[in-house]
Amino acid sequence: MINSKFSALALGSALIMLTFSCSPRLTPLSGEMIKENGWSSEDLKHVQFYLANDLILSRRLSTGESTISNGKIRIRDGQKIEQIIIKSGTPGTLLFMPKEDRMAISFDDSSNAKYLIFGASPKMRSRFVLFGKEWDAHSGKITYNGQIYDTSSESAFNALLVDLKRASKIIHETEVAQGRKIVN
């Protein structure tokens, strides 16, 4: 009886340890991390990114405009409001880098136009956070899918996360060509 309780306890402990050892270690991506690891834009296209916090984008639809993709349309005070919700932990991939310290990350595989720009912020210890066209005390303007959306000012601190275990497994192989001469 004691032996079976001990076996069950040992098995439970082993399962808990295995679960935590295999779970991703999500860490905010920073410019220093990229430099320390020597990651190129091509390397970063093989890294899985995650959104740190929920992000809600919304915009008023003009009269006669009622396209619905994967967003929700809400009617508020007689106005049509389109909302795009990207949940915390949603995986994303790098599409391109418009500048060395900026990344276009897509969290939606239905269109390459559905991306957000993140950039290394000196105010946030060079962490990659959501970039917007403009920010004020209450909200910001974000471009997504070719449209301008509003989001809360807290979204300015929404960071990109990476699984450090997987990201550090990128192996760099460099080969230098020695040249080739004509043989007479």
Per-residue pLDDT in tens (0 to 9) along the chain, 184 residues: 555 554 554 444 444 444 444 556 899 999 999 999 899 999 999 999 999 999 999 998 865 555 555 566 566 566 788 899 999 999 999 999 999 999 999 999 999 999 999 999 999 899 999 999 899 989 999 999 999 999 999 998 999 999 988 665 655 566 778 777 778 7
| pTM of the complete model | 0.72
What distance in Å separates the CA atoms of residue 26 and residue 28, rounded to the nearest whole number? Answer: 7
Q: How far is CA 60 from CA 6, 145, 146, 180, in A?
A: 61, 15, 14, 62
What distance in Å separates the CA atoms of residue 61 and residue 8, rounded to the nearest whole number? Answer: 58
Task: Count Cα neighbours of 137 within 13 Å in the Cβ-side half-sphere.
Answer: 0
Please report which residue ranges of 1-86 form alpha helices under DSSP H.
2-22, 31-37, 41-44
